[in-house]
Amino acid sequence: MTLLPRWWPRGRFPSELPTQDRIFQVSPEVGLLTKCHWQPCPSQHPTILMVHGLEGCTESHYMRGLARKCWDAGWNCIRINQRNCGGSEHLTPTLYHNGLSQDYARIIQEITEEDRCTAVWLIGYSMGGNLALKLAGEHGTTLPSLRGVAAVCPNIQPAACVRALQHPSNWLYHRYFLKSLTAKLRKKARLFPGRWDLSHLSHIRTMWEFDEIYTAPDGGYRGAENYYEQSAARNTLSSITIPTLVITAQDDPFIPYHMFADPALDANPFIQLEAPAHGGHCGFLQRHYKYEDPFWAENRLCDWIHARLNSA
């Protein structure tokens, strides 16, 4: 379930879908590269913001698949690259991490004020899901245009997820993420000489070590453990007061299901949890059904937004 959807045939991304490359300047030094798909008269349509997971980008299969479904539903959609992702390393001197929820609050503010988009929905996958939930708990009541958030396989307790990722049974995923992050840091160092000491890279063997030496200090944290604790969306779950959907699989290899047995989540009437027994990490393939493709989570996300819009 985790691996197969990446290669499952989806058909070509529709060339007729209008695409605008847009950089949101969330601070004087930091720009986020996005792919915007605007309906005619954008202010008259709901707008769906999408945030990918660790080492993903706007071109990740689930980002493209969900964007097409949202466009077909008559909604604007914006695929967002997190800092340094999708070839945007030159747009910021910083690394990206689990705590940067303010980046997406700034995008919501800009499209509300400049594009008159007053019905915004934020969807995040994995690390992007943690960011979406964190934002909802921190800013939900101060962002009137944010109508709801959804998170697919969110790493709401990053420390537990990194420990699971480093389990021997997950060596393939762990190796992929660590190799990709290492290569990205080397590219960043060429763009911003002298900012990072790369002499440690050859000795790093785990994600925890990478975050301890590079991610945490770059983000202003005392170390990996402090970074994981401070950036965890579980800290803000009880503060969420807008419609929220969490989709996770009980067999996700590195998002432990026990994290979701959280009183803050169970007791919050604004949060709906969907946790099928199978689905892997952001996979969720299903049999073909009439009017639906095999990508179960994408279909459920669209159904959920439709239901909220109809009830409103």
Q: Indicate if 72 belongs to the active site.
A: no
Contact 130, 98 (CB under 8 A): yes
> Distance (Å, rounded) from C-alpha 29 to C-alpha 65?
31
Locus of tokens 């975050």: 211
Q: Which residue among 126, 139, 211, 231 is the active-site one?
A: 126
Closest CA to 158 of 212, 228, 209: 228
Nearest alpha carbon to residue 191 among 81, 58, 45, 29: 29
In degrees, to the nearest 5, what angle opens at C-alpha 187 toward C-alphas 181 and 190? Answer: 145
* Sheet with 76-80: strands ordered across: 20-27, 30-37, 76-80, 47-51, 120-125, 146-152, 244-247, 271-274
Q: How many CB atoms lie within 10 A of CB 310?
A: 7
Q: Is 88 considered catalytic here?
A: no
Give yes or no for a contact between 162 and 178, defined as CB atoms under 8 angstroms apart.
Answer: no
180 is catalytic: no
CB atoms under 10 Å from CB of 77, counted, come to 26
Catalytic residue among 103, 211, 218, 252: 252
Task: Give me the active site residues, please.
Answer: 126, 252, 281
